[in-house]
């Protein structure tokens, strides 16, 4: 059985690097992709773009706002320069590297702020990214691995080469594979494979329907242990009602068009990344009974900072 993981084990990318940012913006930059994973919760058409409304229950339709394949750099530059806080901007999708000017966007962000991303790492822009972007301004690259799709399309070699490219340049990068029930019998095989080639690899919860059952709730204890995700803080629905959360205080989610709200389940308008984001002055108490992805557990560094900032927790003494 795997030993109980601490939050530092799970989120080393923020804790160990001691990066100094004030707020985290999780930006769903597009809803297009170059893969067609069987379990994708975006309903992608043949062309890889969002085919029709397919919003998972409880998730704001906000994320399904039509995106563009290009960010207005002049507007973004202006907003980033005049920001009075240091941002960690995470780009996710869809597949962020499908944006035609993604490298310029990363370059602008990392001049003064920090960057992180979830990417399937098969884009031919990864080379340019690894050469132009300063690894010291990149919190973490979550190289989301979709093994069956990579094998089906003969893209595994490209994924691995891009991973090595980033690692060699000094980026903090790790591979994560959705713990999709049909690959249960091959877990050891894939673990061994990635270990052998020197790629840090872990499973993460799969969210969605398989065989008529809803995951992650439907995982058995044994399945959780096989995937090694039994102690992940977001594996079970979290009883969130009335508990403090930093959503909207120093964390928020951003839609493809730049508009910001506190979290996927609270659609309060906080402004727009291209203009100004108006963060709340106080921590909120969650109004929902349950939450499947409490933002506070993905960046414990910022949650602690929020508790200290609101006087809920004393500041740590400087050593």
Q: How far is the CB of 120 from ligand SF4 (least distance, A)?
A: 4
Q: Does 123 help bind ligand SF4 (rule: CB under 6 A)?
A: no
For ligand SF4, which residue of 94, 256, 258, 309 counts as binding (CB under 6 A)?
A: 94
Q: Per CB under 6 A, which region of 127-135, 187-195, 218-226, 258-266 contacts ligand SF4?
A: 258-266
Q: Does 96 help bind ligand SF4 (rule: CB under 6 A)?
A: no
d(CA 253, CA 271): 11
For ligand SF4, which residue of 113, 205, 265, 305 counts as binding (CB under 6 A)?
A: 265
Site string for ligand SF4, 47-86 (x = CB under 6 A): ----------------------------------------
Q: Does 120 help bind ligand SF4 (rule: CB under 6 A)?
A: yes
Q: Per CB under 6 A, which region of 21-29, 89-97, 105-113, 310-318 contacts ligand SF4?
A: 89-97
Q: Which is nearer to ligand SF4, 108 or 299 (CB)?
A: 299
Q: How far is the CB of 165 from ligand SF4 (least distance, A)?
A: 19
Q: Which is nearer to ligand SF4, 25 or 247 (CB)?
A: 247
d(CA 175, CA 186): 16
248: left (phi over 0), alpha (psi -120 to 50) or beta: left
End-to-end C-alpha distance for the chain, whole angstroms: 36
Q: Are 21 and 15 in contact (CB under 8 A)?
A: no
d(CA 222, CA 239): 23
Q: Does 29 help bind ligand SF4 (rule: CB under 6 A)?
A: no
For ligand SF4, which residue of 147, 291, 302, 306 counts as binding (CB under 6 A)?
A: 291
| Strand pairing class (251-254; 23-28) | parallel
Q: Does 36 help bind ligand SF4 (rule: CB under 6 A)?
A: yes
Residues in Cβ contact with 94 at an 8 Å cutoff, skipping those fewer than 6 apart? 28, 29, 30, 31, 32, 33, 42, 67
Q: Does 155 help bind ligand SF4 (rule: CB under 6 A)?
A: no
d(CA 56, CA 185): 28
Specify burial of residue 48 (Cβ count, 10 A radius: 0-12, 13-18, 19+): middle
Task: Give the number of residues in contact with ligand SF4, rule: CB under 6 A.
Answer: 22
Q: Does 35 help bind ligand SF4 (rule: CB under 6 A)?
A: yes
Q: How far is the CB of 201 from ligand SF4 (least distance, A)?
A: 16
Q: Per CB under 6 A, which region of 11-19, 35-43, 181-189, 310-318 contacts ligand SF4?
A: 35-43
Residues in Cβ contact with 289 at an 8 Å cutoff, skipping those fewer than 6 apart? 239, 240, 241
Q: Does 286 help bind ligand SF4 (rule: CB under 6 A)?
A: yes
Q: Per CB under 6 A, which region of 208-216, 227-235, 283-291, 308-316 contacts ligand SF4?
A: 283-291
Which 181-240 residues touch ligand SF4, going by CB under 6 A? 240
| Strand pairing class (271-272; 259-261) | antiparallel
Q: Does 95 help bind ligand SF4 (rule: CB under 6 A)?
A: yes
The CA-based dihedral angle spanning residues 163, 204, 207, 245, taken in that order and rounded to the nearest 10 degrees: -110
Cα-based distances in Å from 134 to 87, 177, 282: 16, 26, 34
Q: Which residues bind ligand SF4 (CB under 6 A)?
A: 33, 35-37, 40, 42, 93-95, 120, 146, 240, 245, 247, 263, 265-266, 286, 288, 291, 294-295
């Amino acid at each position: 059985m795997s030993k109980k993981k601490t939050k530092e084990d799970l989120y080393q990318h923020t804790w160990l690097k001691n990066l100094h940012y004030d707020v985290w913006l999780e930006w769903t930059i597009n809803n297009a992709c170059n893969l067609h994973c069987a379990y994708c919760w975006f309903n992608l058409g043949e062309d890889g773009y969002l085919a029709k409304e397919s919003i998972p229950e409880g998730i704001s339709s906000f994320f399904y706002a039509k995106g563009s394949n290009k960010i207005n750099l002049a507007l973004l530059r202006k907003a980033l320069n005049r920001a009075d806080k240091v941002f960690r901007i995470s780009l996710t999708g869809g597949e962020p590297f499908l944006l035609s000017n993604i490298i310029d966007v990363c370059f602008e962000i990392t001049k003064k702020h920090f960057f992180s991303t979830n990417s399937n790492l098969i884009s031919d822009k990864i080379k340019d990214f690894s050469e132009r972007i300063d690894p010291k301004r990149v919190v973490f690259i979550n190289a989301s691995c979709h093994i069956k799709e990579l094998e089906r399309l003969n893209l595994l070699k490209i994924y691995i080469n891009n991973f090595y490219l980033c690692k060699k340049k000094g980026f903090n990068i790790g591979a994560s594979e959705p713990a999709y029930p049909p690959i249960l019998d091959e877990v050891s095989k894939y673990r061994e494979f990635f270990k052998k080639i020197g790629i840090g690899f872990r499973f993460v919860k799969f969210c969605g329907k398989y065989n008529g059952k809803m995951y992650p709730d439907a995982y058995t204890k044994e399945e959780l242990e096989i995937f090694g995700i039994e102690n992940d803080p977001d594996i079970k629905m979290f009883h969130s009602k009335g508990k403090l959360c930093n959503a909207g205080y120093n964390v928020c989610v951003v839609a493809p068009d730049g508009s910001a709200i506190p979290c996927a389940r609270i659609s309060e308008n906080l402004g727009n990344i291209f203009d100004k984001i108006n963060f709340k002055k106080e921590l909120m108490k969650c109004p929902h009974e349950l939450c499947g992805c409490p933002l506070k557990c993905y960046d414990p560094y910022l949650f602690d900072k929020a508790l200290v900032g609101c006087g809920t927790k004393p500041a740590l003494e400087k050593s």
